[in-house]
Amino acid sequence: MTRRTQTVSHLAAEGSYPVGKLSGRSASSGVLTPEEWIAIRRHLHQRPELSGEEYETTDYLRAKLARIGVRLVETGLKTGLIAEIGSGAGPIVALRADIDALPIEEATGLPYASIHPGRMHACGHDFHAAALIGAAQRLKLREAELPGTVRLLFQPDEERAKGAQQLIAAGALEGVGAVIGQHNKPDLPVGTVGIAAGPIMAASDGFTVTVKGTATHAAVPEAGIDPIVTAAHLVTALQTITGRSISAQDRAVVSVTQLHAGNTWNVIPDTALLHGTIRSFDESVHARIKARFAEIAGGVAAAFGAEASVRWSGGPPPVVNDAELAELARACADRLGLHVASGITSPASEDFAFYQQKVPGLFLFVGTSGSQEWHHPAFELDDSALPDAAALLADLALGALARLSDKQ
């Protein structure tokens, strides 16, 4: 091990700064304190912007990074940004946070609740962005000692699963040896982090099934082909996929979430539409679900004399964590005094998976002691988790750089 790597290993082992080392500094010192990280989170929470519209959020984060002297990278992105800490030489580790909000009317009653009607940070992306600012502050204070570069990815448009690919196209992963991200987990207590190797979040695809029948008067159904009855049978038949076509050892979900047909009470329409989603933790299982889905849709429709076509809207693949990075995360969490919850997974999807298709990656769950799940109008989290989240990101970046430096 080189002398430089030993230095960084010592930094990683030293763990987080006590809050006092950052508290009490003046605003003009170029240092943001943990109290200010919380203020950043609440500022963002109060001013949510939807996917692809994160203009003010981007400007605000850019200003905070400039204040602490972090180098911004020109990318041409309309929203979101990339920044770097380090000399530019040696290995590169990327840290990612998403920044977009949801079209939800907030019902928390918090003093810093959304001021924008119909928009809310109901998935905690404000927390993620503030944690990455905190990690950037910690790493900037040790920039001269880094054996490489930490690239900060403030990603837009996660909720529509478009932002990761936008950043990749902008060069976010060029030269990167590892990418690390995290997500708040309201059902885990503060001080707990969920770490697991392998698949931890599901692949997701949306579907639209168009059932074509023949319209007729409701009084003479025998004169037509009823797409509503066909669609109703199709809804129940699709539920057999996970129970009879997929192994019980393979977790999967098929959910029909919308059924639309007709516009009046006395006419059987000619068309019914089904919408929904499929989820799985393995791409081969995902392919089997899609194949069986098409067979069932066609077969059920034919049994009623109707026709069915299936259109897929592609979502992210599964989030699959690198085993070595998961091991590193456990060691970092232990040094920071955090409790590790193993085997934590979620059937939700995350476009962080697109980064992991390119480079080894790790996605963590950080306990935030919330009373409601993601995407709920009353979703909230405990700000006291923010210093731990920032410390863990910074410590992981240091440890990953040390390991990559050893391999060079």
Task: Check if the beta carbon of residue 32 is closer than 8 Å to that of residue 133.
Answer: yes
Q: Kindly give, in sequence order, each residue whose CB lies less than 8 Å from that of residue 233, ignoring residues fewer than 6 positions away.
A: 300, 303, 304
Task: Check if the beta carbon of residue 252 is closer than 8 Å to that of residue 242.
Answer: yes
Query: Which residues is 179 bridged to in the sheet?
Result: 94, 361
Residue 165 CB coordination number (10 Å): 15
Q: Is residue 20 scored above 60 in pLDDT?
A: no
Write down the mean pLDDT value for the chain. Answer: 93
| SS3 category, 348 | coil
At 30, the pLDDT band (50, 70, 90 cuts) reads confident
User: What is the dihedral sign for C-alpha 44, 31, 90, 62?
Assistant: positive
Q: Is residue 382 scored above 80 in pLDDT?
A: yes
Which has more confidence, 176 or 21?
176
pLDDT value at residue 352: 99
Task: Check if the beta carbon of residue 231 is closer than 8 Å to that of residue 308.
Answer: no
Strands 176-185 and 198-201, how do they pair?
Answer: unpaired
| SS3 category, 333 | helix
Please indicate, yes or no, whether residues 156 and 261 belong to a single structural domain of this protein: no
Please indicate, yes or no, whether residues 59 and 190 belong to a single structural domain of this protein: yes
Q: What is the pLDDT of residues 281-322, one digit of tens each?
A: 999 999 999 999 999 999 999 999 999 999 999 899 999 999
Q: Is residue 19 scored above 90 in pLDDT?
A: no
**Length of the chain as a residue count:** 408
Q: What is the pLDDT of residues 214-248, one digit of tens each?
A: 999 999 999 999 999 999 999 999 999 999 999 99
Check whether 125 is labelled as a binding-site residue: yes
CB burial of 40-75 (b: ≥16 within 10 Å; e: otherwise) equals bbbbbbbbbbbbbbbeebbebbeebbebbebbeeee
What's 174's domain CATH number? Answer: 3.40.630.10
Half-sphere exposure of 229 (CA within 13 A, CB side): 15
Check whether 183 is labelled as a binding-site residue: yes
| SS3 category, 284 | helix
What's the rounded Cα separation, in Å, for the pair 141 and 31? 9
pLDDT value at residue 17: 35
Please indicate, yes or no, whether residues 174 and 286 belong to a single structural domain of this protein: no
Q: What is the pLDDT of residues 164-201, one digit of tens each?
A: 999 999 999 999 999 999 999 999 999 999 999 999 99
pLDDT value at residue 360: 99
What's 267's domain CATH number? Answer: 3.30.70.360
Which has more confidence, 88 or 369?
369
Give the pair of three-digit tokens for residue 99: 């920044």
Residue 21 CB coordination number (10 Å): 14
Task: Check if the beta carbon of residue 349 is closer than 8 Å to that of residue 203.
Answer: yes
At 407, the pLDDT band (50, 70, 90 cuts) reads confident
Please indicate, yes or no, whether residues 144 and 8 belong to a single structural domain of this protein: yes
Where a domain ends, among 314, 341, 362?
Answer: 314
Please indicate, yes or no, whether residues 290 and 351 belong to a single structural domain of this protein: no
Q: What is the pLDDT of residues 34-64, one digit of tens each?
A: 999 999 999 999 999 999 999 999 999 999 9
Which among 22, 100, 88 has a CA at the least distance from the CA of 61?
A: 100
Helical residues (DSSP H) of 113-259, grouped into ranges = 125-140, 163-169, 227-238, 240
Please indicate, yes or no, whether residues 62 and 162 belong to a single structural domain of this protein: yes
At residue 150, what is the residue type? Answer: V
Helical residues (DSSP H) of 204-282, grouped into ranges = 227-238, 240
Where a domain ends, among 296, 314, 332?
Answer: 314
pLDDT value at residue 394: 98
pLDDT value at residue 16: 37
Ranking 6-20, 55-69, 233-247, 382-396 by mean pLDDT, the lowest is 6-20
Please indicate, yes or no, whether residues 240 and 283 belong to a single structural domain of this protein: yes
Q: Is residue 25 scored above 70 in pLDDT?
A: no
Q: Kindly give, in sequence order, each residue whose CB lies less than 8 Å from that of residue 240, ignoring residues fewer than 6 positions away.
A: 296
Q: How many domains does the chain have?
A: 2
pLDDT value at residue 88: 83
Please indicate, yes or no, whether residues 326 and 303 belong to a single structural domain of this protein: no
pLDDT value at residue 83: 98
Check whether 123 is labelled as a binding-site residue: yes
How far does the chain reach from its first CA to its final CA, in angstroms?
A: 11
Q: What is the pLDDT of residues 311-361, one digit of tens each?
A: 999 899 999 999 999 999 999 999 999 999 999 999 999 999 999 999 999
Which residue segment(s) compose the domain that 52 sits in?
3-201+318-407
Ranking 15-19, 147-151, 339-343 by mean pLDDT, the lowest is 15-19
Where a domain ends, among 287, 314, 341?
Answer: 314
Check whether 159 is labelled as a binding-site residue: yes
Task: Check if the beta carbon of residue 264 is closer than 8 Å to that of residue 215.
Answer: no
At residue 385, what is the residue type? Answer: A
Please indicate, yes or no, whether residues 31 and 152 belong to a single structural domain of this protein: yes
What's the rounded Cα separation, in Å, for the pair 100 and 49? 6
At 14, the pLDDT band (50, 70, 90 cuts) reads very low
Dump the DSSP string for 224-244.
Answer: SB-HHHHHHHHHHHHTHIIII
| SS3 category, 149 | strand
pLDDT value at residue 18: 36
At 28, the pLDDT band (50, 70, 90 cuts) reads very low
Q: Is residue 263 scored above 50 in pLDDT?
A: yes
Q: Is residue 262 scored above 80 in pLDDT?
A: yes
Please indicate, yes or no, whether residues 67 and 190 belong to a single structural domain of this protein: yes
Please indicate, yes or no, whether residues 153 and 222 belong to a single structural domain of this protein: no
Supply angle C-alpha 65, 71, 76, rounded to 5: 95
What's the rounded Cα separation, in Å, for the pair 329 and 340? 9
Dihedrals phi, psi of 309, to nearest 5 degrees: -120, 145
Please indicate, yes or no, whether residues 231 and 364 belong to a single structural domain of this protein: no
What are the helix and strand counts (H, E) for the chain? 11, 16
